[in-house]
Chain A
Amino acid sequence: MIDFLVLVLILVAINSIVAIGFNIQWGYTGLLNLSSITFVGIGGYVAMVIALPPPGNSGMQYILGLGWPFPIAVLVAMVVCAVLGAILGAIALNRVRAYYLAIVTFCVAEIVHQVVSTYIPLFDGNSGLYGLNPPFSNVVGLANYNDLYLGLCVVILAIVFLFAERLRKSPFGRALRAVREDHDAAQAFGRDVWLLQLKAFVIGCAIAGLGGALLVNFTGALNPDGWTSGETLLLLAAVFLGGSGNNWGVLLGMLLVLGVLQEGTSLIPTWIMSNEQQAALQAMTLGVLLIVILRFRPMGILAETADRDRVEATRSSASRAA
């Protein structure tokens, strides 16, 4: 049971990292990036081909195979995702209409998924890549390995969380929220709306890549099924339920949606419900959940917190200065 809990928490932690990246795009800036999961996949793929040894006789086909250590693989994955995010963002953000980005990123996600699952030389098609040794396992050993990896993921999650919070409270984050609320007005006050949106988009993509790299290093495999838009639904449900724009809310949402709802369903004995039925139930509850949240509590459980001024609103403070 504890082992299962550790496993679930690792997945929650990694997905929370991705969700915080998504929150910077959607919650802070109002950019609906439906290809978030694609960047998780790209990050995972890049980390994999850098960390894996050359293909050799493994029967798999992939490029590079550098066999480089885990930290480098993670960093390169983030950089590649940032660069690809910048290219996609530069194209898709050229229109100021929010839904334009949603449509483009949705299409990109579908295209990439098709390419990944059919193009053998680069991605080994539908069978995916596997056989990656868990990082540092030769040092720390495989006993209790998951506990250690959970610790690593939580530390990285904490760093990402603090980074996102710092951004949110900073003048930069405030400008992003102004862009989200009314980009014309933001432009009228000297903000390069496109550039601000691009920055937020790139940061989110890099963080998604980080999540992907952590994920493949844990599972040791990368399967094209992980790139589908169903995974995006999980992300949307978690962020919308927890609270768009609120990073604590995002953590709570991911814990509830992935930790309780998704993984909880898998505890249902198979004589009640087969694995396929469980998967179907998970997808359906996510859909229903999303609709219910958006209808009854669009701000999520924990609404975005306003930045409260520390000084009391008395006239004296103003008149003294005047």
Chain B
Amino acid sequence: MLLEVKRLSKTFGGVHAAQDCSFSVDTHEIVGLIGPNGAGKSTLINLVSGFESASQGVVLFDGVDVTRKPAHRRSSLGLLRTFQMARIWDRLTLLENLLVAASTPHRELIWRQFLTVSRVRRAEQEDRVRAREVLAEFDLLSMKDMLAGQLSGGQRRLLEFARILMARPRLVLLDEPSASLSPVMSDRIGDGVKGLSRAGIAVLLIEHDLRLVEATCTRILCMAGGKLIAEGSMEELRDNELVVRAYLGATAAALRPQ
């Protein structure tokens, strides 16, 4: 298993934001994580990525216990995440956004900028070539020298996908990539998710757009009240009493096939 989460819990002053969550994601898998608002999905992502520390439980990434490792160390091991709002570097160009993603802290050591100039340049050149290819894939190549802050909401998301491809992680946690985007755009996001998978990157997809989840994920986890309450295909979840109850009200309709 690439990612193994065992009995992970987080309490904020007596409130269980996440409780006893256990699940796993294997290489090449696209796993969905759904649940009503406030279910604890984002907390779970924060715990797995290291942006919040777990009260209890263990996170194993590729067999390594990363539970106490800071976020940037986990990322260096190949465990990437995104945020609910697309977080790109606004006053860097599109190309620079990708170059930062592709570069490593090792290459950014200060003395290297002066003493191994040619080696750094060569590595940069390779990254630039690849960055242009990746930008072309997302129809962003013509804008490569624009500042990322000038992009529209949908393009920001696409740039985020491009950045993930550049970083070549082993697993990416996508936090609601279709949030606040038009339905047309959400198809594009679906393609993006599948593109990551084709590139050999495992995906944990947190999403409210169940159509998108069904179209991309092989296995789906359902969360409610800080607990994982069900796991299976979309078909199985639809028949699950707990899941339907968690999605009571207007969203229950969303579970039905369209």
Residues on A close to B: CB < 8 A? Answer: 166-167, 170-175, 177-178, 180-182, 184-193, 196, 199, 203, 304, 306-309, 311, 313-315, 317-319, 321-322
Given A181-B89, A185-B83, A185-B87, A174 contacting B100 (CB threshold 8 A): yes
Q: Is the CB of A319 within 8 A of B100?
A: no
Alpha-carbon gap, A196 to B105, bound state (A): 9
The reply on B167 being an interface residue by CB < 8 A is yes
The reply on B7 being an interface residue by CB < 8 A is no
The reply on B113 being an interface residue by CB < 8 A is yes
* Count, chain B residues at interface, CB 8 A: 50
Which residues of B from 79 to 103 have beta carbons under 8 Å from A?
A: 80-83, 87-93, 95-96, 99-101, 103
Alpha-carbon gap, A121 to B82, bound state (A): 56
* Chain B nearest Cβ from A239, distance in angstroms: 16
The reply on B75 being an interface residue by CB < 8 A is yes
Contacts of B244 in A (CB 8 A): none
Contacts of B88 in A (CB 8 A): 182, 185
Q: Which residue of A175, A181, A196 has the most chain B CB atoms within 10 A of its CB atom? A: A181
Given A178-B89, A189-B80, A313-B142, A322 contacting B113 (CB threshold 8 A): no
The reply on B1 being an interface residue by CB < 8 A is no
Contacts of B96 in A (CB 8 A): 174, 177, 306-307
Alpha-carbon gap, A182 to B114, bound state (A): 26
Q: Is the CB of B120 within 8 A of A170?
A: yes
Contacts of A189 in B (CB 8 A): 75, 80, 100-101, 163, 167
Which residue on chain A has the smallest CB distance to residue B103?
A171
Alpha-carbon gap, A212 to B93, bound state (A): 36
Kindly list 4 other residue pairs between chains A and B, CB separation below 8 angstroms, not including A174-B103, A188-B87: A173-B113, A177-B91, A184-B51, A308-B93
Would you list 27 pairs from A and B whose C-beta atoms are within 8 A, ordered by A residue?
A: A171-B99, A171-B103, A174-B92, A174-B99, A174-B100, A175-B103, A177-B92, A181-B90, A181-B91, A182-B87, A182-B89, A182-B90, A185-B83, A187-B51, A188-B80, A188-B83, A189-B163, A190-B73, A190-B105, A192-B70, A196-B108, A306-B96, A309-B93, A313-B142, A313-B143, A314-B141, A315-B141
Alpha-carbon gap, A317 to B132, bound state (A): 8
Alpha-carbon gap, A311 to B127, bound state (A): 13
How many residue pairs at the A-B interface have CB separations less than 8 Å?
129
Contacts of A311 in B (CB 8 A): 128, 132
* Chain A nearest Cβ from B166, distance in angstroms: 9
Which residues of B from 154 to 197 have beta carbons under 8 Å from A?
A: 163, 167
Contacts of A180 in B (CB 8 A): 91
Alpha-carbon gap, A175 to B51, bound state (A): 19
Which residue on chain A has the smallest CB distance to residue B146?
A306
Q: Which residue of A171, A172, A173, A311 has the most chain B CB atoms within 10 A of its CB atom? A: A171
Alpha-carbon gap, A173 to B167, bound state (A): 18
Q: Is the CB of B80 within 8 A of A166?
A: no
Residues on B close to A: CB < 8 A? Answer: 49, 51, 70-73, 75-76, 80-83, 87-93, 95-96, 99-101, 103-105, 107-110, 112-114, 120, 124, 128-129, 132-133, 135-136, 141-145, 147, 163, 167
* Chain A nearest Cβ from B222, distance in angstroms: 25
Q: Which residue of A175, A190, A192 has the most chain B CB atoms within 10 A of its CB atom? A: A190
Which residue on chain B has the smallest CB distance to residue A195?
B105
Q: Is the CB of A309 within 8 A of B103?
A: no
Among A166, A170, A184, A304, which residue has its beta carbon within 8 angstroms of that of B83? A184
Q: Is the CB of A315 within 8 A of B92?
A: no
Given A184-B51, A318-B133, A190 contacting B110 (CB threshold 8 A): no
Given A177-B92, A313-B141, A192 contacting B105 (CB threshold 8 A): yes
* Chain A nearest Cβ from B91, distance in angstroms: 6
Alpha-carbon gap, A167 to B111, bound state (A): 10
Q: Is the CB of B113 within 8 A of A170?
A: yes
* Chain B nearest Cβ from A29, distance in angstroms: 12
* Chain B nearest Cβ from A310, distance in angstroms: 9
Q: Which residue of B82, B100, B129 has the most chain A CB atoms within 10 A of its CB atom? A: B100
Q: Is the CB of B90 within 8 A of A188?
A: no
Q: Is the CB of B147 within 8 A of A306?
A: yes
* Chain A nearest Cβ from B136, distance in angstroms: 4
Q: Is the CB of B110 within 8 A of A315?
A: no
* Chain B nearest Cβ from A27, distance in angstroms: 11
Which residue on chain B has the smallest CB distance to residue A307?
B96
* Chain A nearest Cβ from B106, distance in angstroms: 10
Which residue on chain B has the smallest CB distance to residue A319?
B136
Which residue on chain A has the smallest CB distance to residue B100?
A178
Among B81, B107, B133, which residue has its beta carbon within 8 angstroms of that of A188? B81
Q: Is the CB of A188 within 8 A of B105?
A: no
* Chain B nearest Cβ from A183, distance in angstroms: 10
Q: Is the CB of B72 within 8 A of A191?
A: yes
Contacts of A181 in B (CB 8 A): 89-92
Which residue on chain B has the smallest CB distance to residue A304?
B91
Q: Is the CB of A171 within 8 A of B141?
A: no
Given A313-B141, A318-B136, A171 contacting B75 (CB threshold 8 A): no
* Chain A nearest Cβ from B237, distance in angstroms: 29
Alpha-carbon gap, A306 to B148, bound state (A): 11
Contacts of A203 in B (CB 8 A): 110
